[in-house]
Amino acid sequence: MLAICRAVTTEFYTLDICPSEFKIRAMVLPYKVATLLYCFNERDDVLLLERAQEPNRGFWSPCGGKLKMDIGESPYVCACREAEEELGIKVRTVDLHLTGLVSEHGYQGQTHWLMFLFEIKVRLKTLPPVHAEGRFQFFTRETLASLKIPQTDREQIWPWFWQHRGGFFAAHCHCHPDGHNEWTREESIINSKSEIPSHGRTDH
């Protein structure tokens, strides 16, 4: 707060303005927690969403959504809820494999993110319909390089996801104002098997 130390007097009123300190504080960014769903069909093509909403509007990325932190929702329950809301399928927590945990500091200069990357073991049989969040499409792994995908996904998240599929990794990304990202991989567990078993289940 900025205040001027003086007293102003007229025949109508007297105004005393008291002194105070003038401080500039760094803006505190919100911290948001979200889940991302990595889904595949029976050919092992990955399902991506062309986002119609921010963040990353117009980019292709896995679907998902923010945790309902006001009710204490768990990441696994959030992933199951998002699968039903966006994909139209019902999955259980045992149908999920937590492949990655990624924190992003100051993403786009607007938000800190903590993201849980879940692979859904259930294989999709058909393409989900257009959703308010955007449209879906299946892609082969090889075509991802030609897609419009977020910078952080291209730099590390997709490479580490493929490397740790069936295992687990944790990473932190410090997003700098000049556009470059500083990555730290904090844990890495690589499974010798490169594919998540589907337990014979298919949906949709």
User: Could you tell me the residue ranges of all domains in the chain?
Assistant: 31-203
CB 38 within 8 A of CB 118: yes
Q: What is the CATH topology of the domain spanning 31-203?
A: Nucleoside Triphosphate Pyrophosphohydrolase (3.90.79)
Residues in the chain: 204
B/e letters for 138-157, b = 16+ CB within 10 Å, e = fewer, are beeeeebeeeebbbbbeebb
Q: What region, left, alpha or beta, does residue 200 occupy, with left being phi > 0 and alpha being psi -120 to 50 degrees?
A: left
| Amino acid 1: pLDDT | 41
| Amino acid 203: pLDDT | 61
| Amino acid 109: pLDDT | 85
pLDDT-flagged residues of the chain (< 70)? 1-27, 193-204
Task: Report the 10 Å Cβ neighbour count for 29.
Answer: 14
Distance CA 168, CA 74 (A): 18
- Give pTM, 2 decimals: 0.81
pLDDT digits (tens, 9 = 90+) for 21-68: 556 565 688 889 999 999 999 999 999 999 998 888 999 999 999 999
